[in-house]
A and B are shown apart, each in its own frame.
Chain A
Amino acid sequence: MFTYYLDLALRSLKRNKALTALMVLAIALGIGASMTTLTVLHVLSGDPLPGKSAQLYYPQVDPQDIKGMQPNKEPPDQVTLIDGLNLLRAGRADHQALMSGGSVPLQPERSSLDPFYVEARYTSADFFAMFDAPFLYGHGWTAADGEAKAREVVIAKSLNDKLFGGADSVGRTLRMAGTSFRIVGVLDSWQPNPHFYDLNTGSYAYGEQVFLPLQTMLELRLDRNGSSDCWGNGGGGVGNILPSDTCVWLQFWVQLDSPVKAAAYEEFLVHYSQEQKALGRFQRAPNVRLRNVVQWLDYQRVVPNDVRLQTGLAFGFLLVCLVNTVGLMLAKFMRRSAELGVRRALGASRRALFAQLLIESGVIGLVGGIGGLLLAMFGLWLVRQRPSDYAALAHLDPSMLLATFVLAVCATLLAGLLPAWRACQIAPALQLKSN
């Protein structure tokens, strides 16, 4: 029966080419626009470390003074150096890393290259294991080396390619900010999107090229960038001046392998806050948060507002296209009242007619879906030509490909329901008589 209805549907669609083309075009435009924006949204709100992100948490404590305190206000987005080091050294999580971003001038040995700035991450030893950063050569520095302010550096693949032509550079020397560093490891291509562990430096398509121990950076007073929030008489510090103790400017991440451990860690944060209050450092009642990666990205509203707005607009447009299709399909189905009347009179049930008409709208949906897919691919190409930092990420993946067809067919079937139901309501006798 299905193939027969399919045949009927194709015949009927062929009979009125202009109307069919109009419906397909409307669906294709709507689907194309929605899928373009939805894919961008999907890419931007993607999981930066699939499989791992659920175990990574971002602890927040509230070290601010009592001035300006409001109930239920969120604690600061970063930690102070003192709290960061305290929490790091407490070592209560499975892994933990304290970090900040910056940039350092790099003086290549090869004189053919001018000195240039590289983006740097100053962090602690657990960073690589915790974020599953893959090593091409060598390994990270040890916790002991980190505390000992070792002049050791891990470099990214792109920098290794640029400076050493991709060869194993472990053990070689890198001169940065006038200091010699020993390369201990080379990372393979690694760029979590969004750049979840520090959103201050740019959320997308951003990657550091060198990774140094935080203690080394503190000793050498390397340039840092990112944001710092201060209270009281705190000063944010510029260039190589560190922010004062009443500023939050570091990110602290922990890995907690089970929800039980996460609950225990949150309790630890409360205890820590109480302890610091007893010591007189904290003035506020314990105000802690422990968000995992997805919750953190959501809280930080990392997806650009423009992208959300465009997605909303595109779905508004799809809605207009669907209403349009409902109208056209209604016209098309009602026009075939006579034919449907004959089928009814010959004994076809309403259900059979309904199925036949729905198959016809399904075919329109499928063809519209193919058109929409082509338009979405074109749309994504247009997005990639744009200057935004996320432009290069806009590609269709298999799940979005499937979603395109599901959306197209479902939307069109939905649009077909009303006209099909209306067309099935006709009285067969009336139609036969008027003929």
Chain B
Amino acid sequence: MQIRPILSALRKHRLATLLIALEIALACAVLCNACFLIANRLGMMKIHSGVNESSLAVIYLTGYDSSADIDVNARMLAGLRAIHGMQSVSVINTVPFGQQAGTVGITTDAAGQHYGAVVDIYNGGPGSTQALGLQLVAGQWPRADDYQALQGDFPTDARVLITRSLAEHLWPGADPLGKEFWCDKLHFRVIGVVEHLARARPASRGASAAEWSVFAPAQPGRFLSGTYLLRADPKDLPRVLHDAKAVVAKIAPDVVLDHENSQTLGDLRSTYFQTDRAMAGVLVGVIVALLGVTALGIVGLASFWVQQRRRQIGIRRAIGATRADILHYFQTENFLIVSFGIALGMVLAYALNLVLMTHYELPRLPLYYLPIGALALWALGQLAVLGPALRAAAVPPVVATRSA
């Protein structure tokens, strides 16, 4: 296939060529960035919570006087444990995808000079580590006497578990076991490292900080009451949760059950990512519409060119060009225009990514998105031009002999 005649023909239609190329370039820029945004959202949605979501549910109670903490715990634990099919009930301050609780800034020195991170501290009563299904990768589980009564929101001096992700952030490359950190006067010592444990609102502080969590053992009672972690077989879980709500209404009719947040962890997770799913849907819609419009534009202009050049095509056919030659001519022409558009589009995509990075805390666009975007647009261009090109190939040589 000779490219030179195609180029000189395009030079005659500079404006139209430029427009198609520009359209492809814009489509390329939006396509690459929209795909990247979708990948980001989906990546966030796949986050490891580190807990056994399918067999866990949570009950949130409020609206009782703080002097009733111990009494409410006792009644609830007894009542909930009696439910048929309940494997365990433990007290905890919150769960992954639950309500935000215990988010604090910590320092790695007692004087409070070396800022460490903003972490989520889970205060859990006995049995909660087993119920959550945490995976210990180093160190040991809290001993029974580590579960101490709270004097405030957090234990004053606790032996805690932290996630591997937090350990690597605070002490990169070092053994985290035995290390200490502080939150003002509160002191924590690391006794174990767990594989995963997402914070209560995983996306709230960026993807890298999604698992900066601490598990602090604590004794249920004052400052730790009202939130109960239920564990049951995944098959029984919906029924167990339903029964649990009925039990709460029966044994403590005066407390307020937070129906909206008392859910299975699976439901809490899907609620938490609702907006991300919706946004990903919108982005897919934009991509489909964008590609559709671009394809239609190519079809429209290519059809026009075919019609305009019917006579020339006839002449070429009359002097010996085959149908395949004509077909290839239009296909190559499209390929050249799209390639030109893609070259421009890659620059645009990069520029758009820079804008997004400054406004939306988005990471840099990985380079492999560019060739993927290019391949998609080449394919789109070839598909769109196929119809008009086949019509061009069908032009009979006899057209050459007719006057226009």
Contact = CB atoms under 8 A, between A and B. Distances in A.
Interface SS, B side: helix
A33 B63 CA distance: 46
B15 A320 contact: no
Contacts of B20: 327
A226 interface: no
Nearest to A223: B62
Contacts of A25: 293, 296
Contact of A324 (B255, B274, B293, B404): B293
A309 interface: yes
Interface in B28-53: 29-30, 34, 37
B275 A387 contact: yes
A110 B299 CA distance: 70
A99 B249 CA distance: 34
Contacts of A308: 359
B63 A320 contact: no
Nearest to A422: B15
A327 B307 CA distance: 16
A396 to B, nearest CB: 18
A399 interface: no
B66 A239 contact: yes
A190 interface: no
Interface in A383-435: 386-388, 418, 422, 434-435
Interface in A299-357: 305-306, 308-310, 313-314, 316-317, 319-321, 323-324, 326-328, 330-332, 335
A235 interface: yes
Given A233-B184, A323-B23, A387-B275, A313 B30 contact: yes
A235 B151 CA distance: 13
Given A308-B359, A317-B30, A324-B294, A331 B15 contact: no
Interface in B72-102: none
Chain A at the B interface: SS class? helix
B355 to A, nearest CB: 8
Interface in B12-36: 15-16, 19-20, 22-23, 26-27, 29-30, 34
B169 to A, nearest CB: 21
A179 B23 CA distance: 67
Contacts of A134: none
Nearest to B184: A233
Interface string A355-390: 000000000000000000000000000000011100
Given A310-B282, A320-B27, A320-B290, A26 B184 contact: no
Given A115-B63, A317-B30, A323 B153 contact: no
B278 A386 contact: yes
A330 B301 CA distance: 9
Contacts of A316: 26, 29-30, 352
B30 A331 contact: no
Nearest to B22: A323
B19 A117 contact: no
Nearest to A316: B30
Contact of B26 (A26, A29, A323, A328): A323
B321 interface: no
A358 B225 CA distance: 72
B304 A317 contact: no
- Ranked nearest first, the 10 interchain pairs of A and B with the lowest CB-CB distance are A331-B304, A324-B297, A105-B63, A327-B19, A323-B23, A387-B274, A328-B300, A320-B26, A316-B30, A386-B278
20 contacts: A19-B300, A22-B297, A22-B300, A26-B293, A26-B296, A105-B256, A107-B254, A114-B249, A178-B65, A233-B184, A305-B359, A314-B286, A317-B290, A320-B23, A320-B26, A321-B293, A328-B300, A331-B16, A331-B304, A387-B274
Interface of A: 19, 22, 25-26, 29-30, 33, 105, 107, 114-117, 178, 223, 233, 235, 238-240, 305-306, 308-310, 313-314, 316-317, 319-321, 323-324, 326-328, 330-332, 335, 386-388, 418, 422, 434-435
